[in-house]
Amino acid sequence: MSIEVKHGQVTLLSLELQSIATRTSADIPNSYATGLNLVVVLANKVGTVTFTPKLQGKTKSGTYYDLWVAAAALSANGTYIYQLCPVAVSTSASVTESKIVLLPAVFRVVLTYSGAGAGNAFDTTVETDVLV
C-alpha cells in the first residue's frame, strides 16, 4: 500500500482484531506535510500486553531510523493522541504527548508489541491528521 501524504486524515494501520505482534505501516511518501497528529486506538484488551508507538524516517539507501518513540508504553483501552510537528506543541489535556518533529520525505509508523502472544492482545488502529 502506498499513500502520499498531502493534507487530511489517513489510516496508517487499519483495524486489526486481537493484535499479538508488532505492526508496521507501509512507507509513506511525503511531499507536503511537516507534522501530524498520530491517533492510536486500543480496544478490547485481553491479558497482559502493551504497545509502544514510534515514528521512523527512511534514508535514500533504505535504512530506517527512529524520529520519535512514545515516552510510555500503552497498556489500557483508549484513544491516544500524539502531536508530532515542527512548531510549538499543544498543552491540551486530550493530547497524550507532544514532541517537536519534522517529517522526512519517507516515514512509517510502528506499534511495538510486548506480551506473551495468544491470549495477550488488543484490537489496534492507527490514524493520522496530517499537518501542512
- What domains can be seen in the chain, in order of their start residue? 8-131 (2.60.120.380)
Predicted confidence pLDDT, tens digits, the chain (132 residues): 445 555 567 888 888 999 999 999 999 998 888 899 999 999 999 999 999 999 999 999 999 999 999 999 999 999 999 999 988 777 788 899 999 999 999 999 999 999 888 889 999 999 988 776
Residue 23: closest CA among 85, 115, 103, 97: 115
Residue 26: closest CA among 53, 56, 70, 51: 56
Cα–Cα distance, 60 to 89 (Å, whole number): 29
Question: pTM for the full model?
Answer: 0.89
